[in-house]
Structure 1
Amino acid sequence: MAGKKRSVLITGVSHSWGRNLVPLLEQDPEFDPIIGIDFEKPKKPFKRLEFFQVDLHTPLLAELLQVARVDTVCHLLFLDSYTSNEEHFDQNVMGTMDLLAACSAAETKRLIIKSSTKVYGAQASNPNYISEDADLKGQHQHRYIQDRVELEKMVRRFSRSNPIPEITVLRFANILGRTVDTPVMRYLDSNIVPTCLGHDPLFQFTHEQDVLAALYHTIKSDVTGTFNISGDGVLPLSQILRIGGKVPLPLPSPLMRASSMILRPGGRQGLTDSIPIETDYIMYNCLGDTARMKKVLKFKPHFSSKETVKEFFEHLRIRKYLPSRNKIQSDPQSSERMQAWIQARQRASNYLSNLIEDFNKEEGYDQ
């Protein structure tokens, strides 16, 4: 007897995390239908995804969830912004509010939200490892941290008075990988890396593959609650830079802080082009306690923090020798047609070979 099908909706399927998560779900027959929404069209087609180009404010969202009998929503649509951006705030925070209301109205069972350990804030008074019930003190100049803090506080308030949906928040430590664009990746992707004079904070890292694995694992499970997600181990910033062969540029912290508020003409940032993470995070520790991840969520990342860093820097080293492929692109549909054509030719060739073999046997030519 076939198992019961589950319906899942993913927000942000045209952006990095949703775009990479959907193929994992498409390969799993447990999920049907798989629905995706985004305000942009996907650059490449999906196999089984039912896509709708809408934003989170659409009044039809609750009806869609109800008619499709969606039991799990995975919310991945979040727009990073370094400066104040009303449109991004509207999408990140107010859009999530509308998503929560739609899930509640449709009685959708679960909502999974991707977040960051940066919501705890980096402070000198931080404990060695911060547990999930700690206060969210990540109020900084960079908007992408403020928006995540506002989003999580709003989710907390909503869940106190609304038992449905049950909410799971995954707070990922610094994410590195070959195909993603994250603040810490941009910070380390330079030959000379600015550091804070007299400070050498510890870092945790999550490999991009473990991010997808954690999201998929959480969708498959029925666990709810908040979880810090990170690879095993921590690394001091000085060791990270040595692994990558980077040259540290120690700067006084007042200069670092001032640079984050200096804008170039045209809206481009000043020193924050090279320092895309908040100054506090390269001064003080901000480490998430992953005990609940292992004991309750029962998820174990494949890559340690050190392995993630080593692979990332190896990718940067090799990337210098790769040609640009901006104009040379393959069509996924053509690749599928090519594979089907090859298989058809192989079947035809095998059929012809079998006919010849049978004829030879009947005529005695194989004696």
Structure 2
Amino acid sequence: MKVIITGAAGCIGKQLVETLLQQSYQVFATDIKPNPFPQHAGLIYQQLDITSDEFLHWVEQVRPQGVIHLASVLQISKTLTRELAYKIDVQATENLTNLCAQIGVEKFVITTSGAAYGYHPENINSLITEDRPTKGNMDYFYSDHKAQVEQIMANAVDTYPDMKQVILRPGAIIGPNFEGPVVNLFEQRIITGLIGYPGPFNFIWSLDVVDYLVEAVTTDITGQFNVAGDGALSMRQIAKRLNKSYLPLPPLLIQAALSILKPLGIIQYGPEQVKFIKYRPVLDNSKIKQQFNHQPRYTSEQALDAYLQLSSTDVEQ
């Protein structure tokens, strides 16, 4: 089976490539970054920009049976603007989806995020199932783009019924050698939160995400699935496990500070970011546990403890 993996140089992508190669799949991997892999029999790597025609020509030449689309933007910056992020996240995904259907790809697997549901008041004290509409927040590019990608995939189900698809919506991913905004949170000297809002986190181990991706592309499973360990941890509980101080602040104070600091260019976040702590989605994982053979290695609590154990071992070494 030929499988194309985009975003193959990312944390999940690298682990996924290694896993599929061990299972003797014919792996075609691509990323805008240089090849991060040693010499591997069965691996063909191309350094490509997924927004380019060259990338689409390469996919057409490979003609895979399966595609696992991981490439996306986690954070924007002065050089990686929201406009460019839109081209990568949304336009490139739509172009790839259309091409895959046209060349007869049998299975299209994509990761979006729990952020696709959006950060809304109805999230409070509510487990979110896959029946909840994905209505991201316009003022948060990541949530907005993931919701738009979900709409592209929903349209593809109607337009290209012969191409089976799986959408995985992970919670906060942590694991070996994993990087990202969640890990950045752990590195803060003081964990800040909001008075009256616990800011819950669903954690999922990175190797669990890899195992779900492999099962998704190699079986007849289709549909949308939340990917999370059982339970959730509040920001206060996270701070306690990190052995760091927890400082809950009034939401209005945070909004006022952000409204001053963002125009000065000190931070990239504005006052609208407060709702992303207030209304963090907590994902119900019942569906994926029922329909996939793979089961999460850890609960959310155990995943954080395992990550911290790895981190302490690295420090000691």
Q: Please name the residue that 1:347 is paired with.
A: none
Quote the Cα distance in structure 1 between the aligned partners of 2:122 and 2:280.
Answer: 9
Contact 1:81 1:142 in 2 (8 A): no
* Larger of the two Rg values belongs to structure: 1
Q: Deviation at 1:229?
A: 0.8
Question: Which moved further from structure 2: 292-301 or 280-289?
Answer: 280-289
Partner of 1:54: 48
Aligned residues: CA RMSD: 2.6
Q: CA deviation at 1:234?
A: 2.2
- Aligned pair 1:204/2:202, yes or no? yes
User: Are the counterparts in 2 of residues 202 and 285 from structure 1 also a CA contact under 8 Å?
Assistant: yes
Counterpart in the other structure of 2:152: 154
Q: Deviations over 1:205-259 (max 9, x none)?
A: 1011212122122222221100001112222332222122121111121333455
Residues 141 and 260, structure 1, Cα contact 8 Å, conserved in 2: no
Superposed CA deviations along residues 98-149 of structure 1, whole A, max 9, x for unmatched, are 1011101101111100111121123332362111121123305332222212
What are the residue-to-residue correspondences of 1:203-242 with 2, within 5 Å? 203-242=201-240
Which residues of 2 match residues 346-361 of structure 1 at below 5 A? none
How many angstroms apart in 1 are the aligned matches of 2:51 and 2:85? 13
Mapped partners of 2:161, 2:135: distance in 1: 26
1:51-101 CA deviation, whole Å, 9 max, x = no partner? Answer: 222222444656654554411100011111246522121111111011011
Deviations along 1:284-340, one digit per CA (max 9) or x if unpaired, are 351112111011233311111111111223344444445xxxxxxxxxxxxxxxxxx
Is 1:115 the counterpart of 2:112 in the alignment?
yes
> Do the aligned partners of residues 96 and 159 (structure 1) sit closer, same or farther apart at CA in structure 2, a change above 3 Å counting?
same
The answer (yes or no) to whether the contact 1:39–1:54 under 8 Å persists in 2 is yes
Q: Distance in 2 between matches of 1:260 and 1:139?
A: 18
- Decide whether the 8 Å contact of 1:74 with 1:111 is kept in 2: yes
In the TM superposition, residue 46 of structure 1 has moved relative to its aligned partner by 4.4
Task: Say whether 1:194 aligns with 2:192.
Answer: yes
Change (3 A) 1:111 1:247: same
Letter in 2 for 1:125: E
Alpha-carbon distance change, 163 to 62 in structure 1, aligned in 2, over 3 angstroms: farther
Q: Distance in 2 between matches of 1:91 and 1:259?
A: 31
Which shifted more, 43-52 or 54-63? 54-63
* Equivalence map 1:178-193=2 (5 Å): 178-193=176-191
The residue that corresponds to 1:97 in the other structure is 94
Per the alignment, in what secondary structure is the counterpart of residue 121 of structure 2? coil
Which residue among 120, 126, 129 is the counterpart of 2:127? 129
| Matched residue SS, 1:235 | coil
TM-score when normalising by structure 1: 0.76
SS of equivalent residue, structure 1 residue 219: helix
Q: Is the 8 A contact 2:117 2:143 kept in 1?
A: no
Aligned length: 311
Higher RCO, 1 vs 2 (CA within 8 Å, ≥6 residues apart): 2
State yes or no: 1:42 paired with 2:20. Answer: no
**Structure 2 vs 1, CA of residues 197 and 20 (structure 1 numbering), >3 Å: closer, same or farther?**
same
Which ranges of structure 1 fall in alignment gaps of 5 or more residues? 1-5, 323-367
1:169 Cα shift? Answer: 0.4
Partner in structure 2 of residue 76 of structure 1 = 70
**In 1, Cα distance between the equivalents of 2:185 and 2:138?**
17
2:173 to 172, 175, 185: 175
Q: For residues 166 and 10 of structure 1, what CA distance do their matches in structure 2 show?
A: 16
The 1:62/1:186 distance shift into structure 2, 3 A limit, reads closer
Q: Are the counterparts in 1 of residues 76 and 85 from structure 2 also a CA contact under 8 Å?
A: no
Letter of the structure 1 residue corresponding to residue 307 of structure 2: F
Which residue, 275, 283, 292 being the options, matches 1:297?
292
